[in-house]
Amino acid sequence: MSDTAVARVYSRALYEAASETGRVEQVRRDLTAFLGALDGASGLRSVFFDEEMPAEQKKRVVLSLTEGGEVLMRNFLQVLIDKSRESVIEEAYGLFVQRVEAEAGVVKVEMTTAVPVPEPVQDQVRESMEASLKKRVELKVVVDESIVGGLKLRVGDRIADVSIRHQLEQLRARLVSPTVRLEGSVEAAS
């Protein structure tokens, strides 16, 4: 089974357990904090991902660091360690958060523009997207001068690209295509 499939199984189990007990937000908060600690503390990262360290010793370290944290999250970490699946924690976490947001009706939208966009324009885009998607939109704005102008919207794995760069690339592709036909004919030109 691939790591992605394994991560999916673990995230689904965690979500279902948290949902059944009404502790989804607490699990998300504490798991987010744990992953933040993994990213911020190289010592914790090296312990958590150390394949040579005995599982019991690793669990003691992790449990002492998460003492007072959400029980489901702590149990989740123990199971990952027991099954030697620490490598899927980040992907399982990402899938867990996606599920939480999907169940809450939240959609993440990334808007890429060539120049910074003022807050009122961001609010208009967010409101327009919410009206069309019928979901709450979390808008992330990215500035990328290489798109020249216009914008790109990414919603999940879908992209709407109306940037000038994209339009120029499409025009270039049509111009160099061997199937380009000249508009009109010789007779029309004379």
Residue ranges per structural domain of the chain:
3-102, 106-176
CA-to-CA dists, residue 84 to 58, 61, 94, angstroms? 11, 15, 19
Task: In whole angstroms, give the CA distance from residue 27 to residue 159.
Answer: 31
CATH numeric code, 106-176:
3.40.30
Architecture of domain 3-102: Orthogonal Bundle (1.10)
Considering only CA atoms, which of 50, 41, 2, 31 is closest in space to residue 89?
A: 31
For the stretch 82-135, pLDDT in tens is 999 999 999 999 999 999 988 988 988 999 999 999 999 999 999 998 998 889
For the stretch 143-187, pLDDT in tens is 999 988 888 999 877 888 888 888 889 888 888 877 655 555 445
Confidence (pLDDT) at 2 = 86
- pTM metric for this prediction: 0.66
CB 34 within 8 A of CB 73: yes
